[in-house]
Structure 1
């Protein structure tokens, strides 16, 4: 398995996989409701902006020559903290027919190695509170709960 940095040629693959991930997140909170009813409505501008942002990198997850998912990483810094330089997993999605085969674990291990090589001292990730499968996945990989995000729609 390898992580291949995405390019403009990969925008359709990224948008399609992001849509599937975002659509699945609707099940966990009404605040996750998408404005798009179909993947074809999603503009590729969000991922295109990632390509120009030096703090964000999208990677295709490739296994035996086939793309089986994607991961989005964002670098950051909390200068006032002992663990100050971090890499955040923003999105991690493995295609449904490739799940539960260790690919997600392998991606996280590769990301940890990348983070260390980039001089980071902390790896961060968040997931939906109601997504017990994701919470268990990250706990099993020795991530510790650190904070809880709250949200309130302003209507």
Structure 2
């Protein structure tokens, strides 16, 4: 398994996989409702912006020359904290046919290596509170609960 930095030619692949991930998140909270009824409506602008943002990088997850997922990483820092430099996993998705085969764990291991190489002192990730599978996955790959995000819709 390797992480291959995505480029302009990978925008359709990223949008397809992001849409699948975003659709899977919809049932967890009404705030996850997508604005796009069909994948064909999703612009690639969001991922195109990532290509120009020095703090965000998208990678394709490649196994045996086949793209099986993607991960989006964002650099960050908390200058007032002892543990100040971090790498955040923004999106991590492995295609359904390749799940439960250790690929996600390998992606996390690789992200941890990348964070160390970049001088980071920790890796962050968030997931839906109701998504017990994701919570279990992150606990099993060495993450611990640290903070709870709250959201309040403004209606």
TM-score range, shorter chain: over 0.9
Q: Hey, what does 1:90 align to over in structure 2?
A: 90
Q: CA deviation at 1:67?
A: 0.2
Give unpaired runs (5+ residues) of structure 2: none
CA RMSD of aligned residues (A): 0.4
**SS in structure 1 of the partner of residue 101 of structure 2:** coil
Tell me by how many angstroms 1:55 deviates.
0.2
1:44 maps to 2:31? no
- Whole-angstrom CA distance in 2 between matches of 1:92 and 1:141: 13
Aligned counterparts of 1:148 and 1:88: Cα–Cα separation in 2: 15
- Report how far residue 27 of structure 1 moved: 1.1
* 1:95-149 C-alpha deviation (Å, 9 max, x unpaired): 0000000000000000000000000001000000000000000011121101111
Q: Who is 1:116 aligned against?
A: 116
Which consecutive residues of structure 1, in runs of 5 or more, have no partner in the other structure?
none
Q: Higher mean Cα deviation, 60-69 or 140-149? A: 140-149
Q: Write out the 4+ residue segments of structure 1 that deviate beyond 4 Å after TM superposition.
A: none
Q: Residues of 2 paired with 1:51 and 1:130: CA distance? A: 31
